[in-house]
Chains A and B, each alone.
Chain A
Amino acid sequence: MSSTSTGVRAAVRGRAPAWRRRQALAAWLFALPFTLLFAAFMVGPLLASVGLSLTDMTSRDLRTPLAVRFVGLGNFVELAGDETFVRAIGNTVYFVGVGVPLTVAVALLLALALNNGINRFRSLFRVGFYTPVVTSIVAIAVVWKYILEPDGLLNQGLGAIGIGGPDWLNDTRFAMPSLILLAMWRNMGTLMIIFLAGLQGLPADVYEAARMDGANALQRFRSLTLPLLRPTLLLGCVLISVYYFQFFEEAFVMTEGGPLESTLSITYFTYNEFGYGNYGYASAASYVLAIAIGLVTLVQFRLLREKG
Chain B
Amino acid sequence: MSRTTVAPAPTAAAPAPPPTVQEAGRRRRRLAVRDRWYLYVPLLLALAATVLPFAWMVSGAFKPQSEILSGEVRLLPQDGTLRNFRDLFTRVDFGHYLFNSAVVAVAVVLGNLLFCSMLGYALSKLDFPGRRVLFALVMTMLMVPTVVTFVPLFVLVTKMGLANTYGALILPFLATPLGVFIMRQFIAGIPDSLIEAARLDGAGEFRIFFTLVLPLSGPALATLAILQFLSSWNEFLWPLVAAQTEDMYTLPVAIALISASANSVNYGLLLAGATVVVLPVLGLFLLLQRYFVQGISTTGLK
Contacts and interface: CB of A to CB of B under 8 A. Distances in A.
A129 B293 CA distance: 12
Contacts of B154: 274, 279
A44 B147 contact: no
Given A27-B131, A248-B147, A140 B118 contact: no
Nearest to A48: B152
B273 interface: yes
A142 B145 contact: no
A146 interface: yes
Given A26-B205, A34-B175, A123-B12, A136 B278 contact: yes
Interface residues on B, range: 35 or more
A27 B40 contact: no
Interface in B265-285: 265, 267, 270-271, 273-274, 277-278, 281-282, 284-285
Nearest to B267: A146
B149 interface: yes
Interface in A5-39: 20, 23-24, 26-28, 30-31, 33-35, 37-38
B103 interface: no
Contacts of A120: 29, 32-33
A253 B260 contact: yes
Contacts of B53: 132, 140, 143-144, 147, 185
Contact of A146 (B56, B175, B205, B255): B56
A289 B292 CA distance: 29
B175 A133 contact: no
Interface stretch (B76-84, B86-94, B216-224, B232-240): B232-240
B109 interface: no
Contact of B148 (A142, A152, A287, A297): A287
B149 A194 contact: no
A239 B301 contact: yes
Interface string B226-253: 0000100110110011000000000111
Contacts of B256: 138, 249, 252-253
A46 B138 CA distance: 13
A134 B227 CA distance: 9
Given A62-B155, A146-B267, A26 B149 contact: no
B297 A293 contact: no
A113 interface: yes
A118 B39 contact: yes
B8 interface: yes
A151 B65 CA distance: 15
Contact of B171 (A37, A119, A140, A235): A37
Interface string B41-83: 0110011001101101100100000000001010000000000
A68 B74 CA distance: 59
A49 B146 CA distance: 11
B175 A246 contact: no
A116 B57 CA distance: 33
Contact of A243 (B39, B233, B300, B302): B302
Of the four ranges (under 10, 10 to 19, 20 to 34, 35 or more), the interface on chain A belongs to 35 or more
A290 B42 CA distance: 39
A48 B42 CA distance: 50
B182 to A, nearest CB: 13
Given A136-B252, A137-B236, A139-B278, A26 B32 contact: no
Nearest to A275: B241
Counting chain A CB atoms within 10 Å of each CB, the highest count among B130, B151, B252, B286 belongs to B151
Given A49-B148, A122-B12, A135-B282, A194 B300 contact: yes
Interface in A85-129: 110, 113-114, 116-129
Given A123-B9, A125-B43, A48 B293 contact: no
A139 B297 contact: no
Give the secondary structure class of A's interface: helix
Contacts of B271: 142-143, 146
A41 B152 contact: no
A131 interface: yes
Contacts of A34: 115-116, 118-119, 175, 180
A30 B127 contact: no
A190 interface: yes
A127 B286 contact: yes
B236 A197 contact: no
A270 interface: yes
A224 B40 CA distance: 24
A30 B205 contact: yes
A283 to B, nearest CB: 5
A127 B148 contact: no
Contacts of B32: 117, 119-120
A242 interface: yes
Given A142-B270, A242-B143, A287-B148, A23 B296 contact: no
Contacts of A210: none
Given A113-B42, A123-B9, A137-B236, 4 more contacts: A27-B127, A128-B47, A138-B256, A185-B50
In the A-B complex, list the 8 residue pairs whose CB atoms are closest, starting with the nearest.
Answer: A27-B128, A48-B152, A27-B126, A37-B175, A26-B205, A45-B149, A139-B274, A138-B252
Interface of B: 7-12, 29, 32-33, 35-36, 39-40, 42-43, 46-47, 50-51, 53-54, 56-57, 60, 71, 73, 114-116, 118-119, 121-123, 126-131, 134, 137-138, 141, 143-156, 158-159, 171-172, 174-175, 177, 180, 204-206, 209, 230, 233-234, 236-237, 240-241, 251-253, 255-256, 259-260, 265, 267, 270-271, 273-274, 277-278, 281-282, 284-286, 289, 292-293, 296-297, 300-302
